[in-house]
Chain A
């Protein structure tokens, strides 16, 4: 799998978190974009068409759930993940767009390699669906 062909959009209103996860993902070789709110991410997602979009749950404007539901309408081919502080039961709407409990990542991640593993799994299963 060539990581440089995998683009990731990271949505989090905490700059510190965005920077540190971006640094990690870039070191892994992924192509990474950032947005600090759901609104900002919706503006650029169509042009960007990321392979994977990872969003924080608690955001300043619309929350992560609302953002993902709207983003899916614009970009259904993207795989979505939630990065959240509290154990978050996956809603029926998010299940309906193909998210599973494994796509909910609990903050703080002790090991960032968890992220890489999940991205690879998601990309692999999306690839097998389109084929």
Chain B
């Protein structure tokens, strides 16, 4: 009897232990020297695709080779009795990128010569960190723009306004000009003819245009800085879209890498649209991200047809609808379904963060109570649709 009782007790304890191990969200595996597996939990089975029975006695490196570098330290941990931790290990499973943390603990029981490995999926955690870093970056750009605007507005003003003064001071409409010309004995008429002949009026006009362009860039960048508290404004959509297009056109990457100038922009704005309430710099970011994606897709499309992006606005069931429609290569369903997923990127490492469209999605849906959708036909193009409540 006592034997049977003891056996039952052991069985119960064992079951309780297994229950605990299987309930934990971590991948847990106990290994001996050389990394030979002697216990795994359910998460481990799911992750490696190998059942507990089959895993027994195998080297853990063979089962989860993604972590080979770290698992090679098992013997070191057992010998030194000092745990080791590895943070933010990047693993790609198919097209999905995930971050993991991995810890190896020496087993404390006497003469065990064993270690426990715990692996956690920290993708969500890292994602939040990255979004915060991204936001930080925007704030930095904004702060820089605000500081720069102060320093640069006066020189820019002097450039544009003095160019205007020069134009005016050779004009025959201002009596003081005729008087001064007379005093030095030249004919204003001839001075103008000379300036005309040598293209000087054109140079002056270019100085003014260039100044206006630079000033518009600063002005647009300032939108990133005004964020003391998100300011909801009633905005005319057409104006706002035009301003964003200017901002995108002045973006270095867009010009140099994606040839934005050679994309035909078609504006189909519905007349008489009611104003939309929005946090302007946030929605600008949304449109910028979508337009950047479109330009990237178009630049790599290799299609014969000239590249085109159409911006449409209309009123639909009391919502303002904005469509950004490109005639690029389009995307297939597998990508379309995951396009707003953070870290999902079809671009090479370093080209895209995989954050742009997910941030856009968050801004539209959470920040503005709107919707963001995408439809696409491979070979024909991609269309993003944003719906926002009108005032």
A residues apposed to B, CB below 8 Å:
14, 16-17, 20-21, 23-24, 26-27, 58, 85-87, 107-112
Asked if B146 is at the interface of the complex by the 8 Å CB criterion, the answer is yes
B residues apposed to A, CB below 8 Å:
146, 149-150, 153-158, 160-162, 164-165, 168-169, 174, 176, 208, 211-212, 215, 222, 226
Complex contacts, A17 vs chain B, CB 8 Å: 154, 157-158
Which residue of chain B is the closest to A107 with respect to CB atoms? Answer: B153
Other A-B contacts than A21-B161, A23-B165, A24-B161, 15 sampled, CB-CB below 8 A, are: A16-B158, A20-B161, A23-B169, A27-B165, A27-B174, A86-B146, A86-B149, A86-B150, A107-B154, A108-B154, A108-B157, A108-B161, A110-B160, A110-B208, A111-B164
Complex contacts, B150 vs chain A, CB 8 Å: 58, 85-86
Complex contacts, B174 vs chain A, CB 8 Å: 27
Contact call B161/A109, Cβ cutoff below 8 A: yes
Chain B interface main SS type: helix
Cα A86 to Cα B218 in complex, Å, equals 11
Which residue of chain A is the closest to B146 with respect to CB atoms? Answer: A86
Complex contacts, B146 vs chain A, CB 8 Å: 86
Complex contacts, B168 vs chain A, CB 8 Å: 24, 27
Could you name 17 residue pairs across A and B whose Cβ atoms are closer than 8 Å? A20-B161, A20-B165, A23-B162, A23-B165, A24-B165, A26-B176, A27-B174, A85-B149, A85-B153, A86-B146, A86-B149, A86-B150, A86-B222, A107-B157, A108-B154, A108-B160, A110-B215
Complex contacts, B154 vs chain A, CB 8 Å: 14, 16-17, 85, 107-108
Complex contacts, A107 vs chain B, CB 8 Å: 153-154, 157
Contact call B161/A112, Cβ cutoff below 8 A: yes
Contact call A24/B164, Cβ cutoff below 8 A: yes
Cα A41 to Cα B226 in complex, Å, equals 32
